[in-house]
Copies of this chain bind each other. A is one copy, B any other.
Amino acid sequence: MNTPSKHAYVPFVSVDNMMRLVHRIGIERMLCDLAAEIEADFLRWPDFDKTPRVASHSDIGVIELMPTSDGETYGFKYVNGHPSNTKQGLQTVTAFGLLADVATGYPLMLSEMTILTALRTAATSAMAARWLAPEGASVMALIGNGAQAEFQALAFKAVCGIKEVRLYDIDPAATRKCVRNLAGSGLVVTPCRSAEEAILNAQIITTCTADKQFATILTDNMVGSGVHINAVGGDCPGKTELHRDILLRSSIFVEYPPQTRIEGEIQQLASDHPVAELWEVITGRAAGRSSPTQTTLFDSVGFAVEDFSALRYVHRRLKEFGLYQDLDMIADPDDPRDLYGMILRAAKG
């Protein structure tokens, strides 16, 4: 074979290397870094080429591509959502992503993103809560104790100073797993027998359930005034977690309205129902929380810019840690017009 040139190689961050990176940086440090990285990109929101994700739906799931670009760097994520996968021992959501150089179109890095998505989702939630949650919030209810739960708990501890998480899941085994994983985290972890019990004295309510269709995880009378709701689980058409009445009396904040109107909790509302965009709050264009009795809702569905921020963060730290392998992914003939000649010579090599 011919030895591929340096242009042929794309650094690849495997699942194993991503786990090593999380440990080397420290998960709470990494969640804080990601929150800062995402916030910095929300501050320059108009720089990004934005498009609703490109979804391919089937009866039992969805495969999506989420591209964005800031004019210098391009990124996209491949992500699936298949709630019934867990029955076969598979992940509901798996993902990988890529960064590329806009000037040449050449890939800069390929990375696993199942873990990275879990981190960026939690970091985004916590970043939003810093702008929206009531002052001095220290107790968070965590309803839905699946794959995203611990990441949310740790992000809210690290970024927002949450001291206690109150856990509830319809499956007690999920709650037990979460209690076990959060032991030693420094959080007070309180398993609860109902959603009602979980939200007692909580200033923040995070819902991150996975496999419900138009479910009502929270009903109207469960939510007192002044609470911040971080609604993570409702993220595709036909999949919501909150009763409509809660939405009607909340100030609603979203990532990117054209996507959230289709995928978020607000798919239950009229298409012109007022919402504020998170980037507008961060840049001072829109008000965040304006009173202690206001109910705020971050209707999170996940947007391409967050994945871009996360990928760029990993890319920037690539050389420092060396946690990647080179993939021979880009054909790079000596003469760029001589692709066929490269194949011919490979035969002789």
Contact = CB atoms under 8 A, between A and B. Distances in A.
Contacts of A19: 1, 342-343, 346-347
Q: Which secondary structure characterizes the binding site on chain A?
A: mixed
A294 interface: no
Given A54-B67, A112-B330, A330-B114, A94 B105 contact: yes
Given A4-B16, A86-B337, A329-B14, A100 B146 contact: no
A309 interface: no
Interface stretch (A55-63, A127-135, A219-227, A245-253): A55-63
B98 A78 contact: yes
Given A61-B105, A330-B112, A339-B147, A15 B20 contact: no
A24 to B, nearest CB: 10
Interface in A114-165: 114-115, 118, 145-151
A328 B15 contact: yes
A67 B146 CA distance: 30
Interface of A: 1, 4, 7-8, 12, 14-16, 18-20, 22-23, 27, 49, 51, 54, 56, 58, 60-63, 65, 67, 69, 71, 74, 76, 78, 80-82, 85-86, 88-92, 94, 96, 98, 100, 102-107, 112, 114-115, 118, 145-151, 174, 177, 180-181, 327-344, 346-347
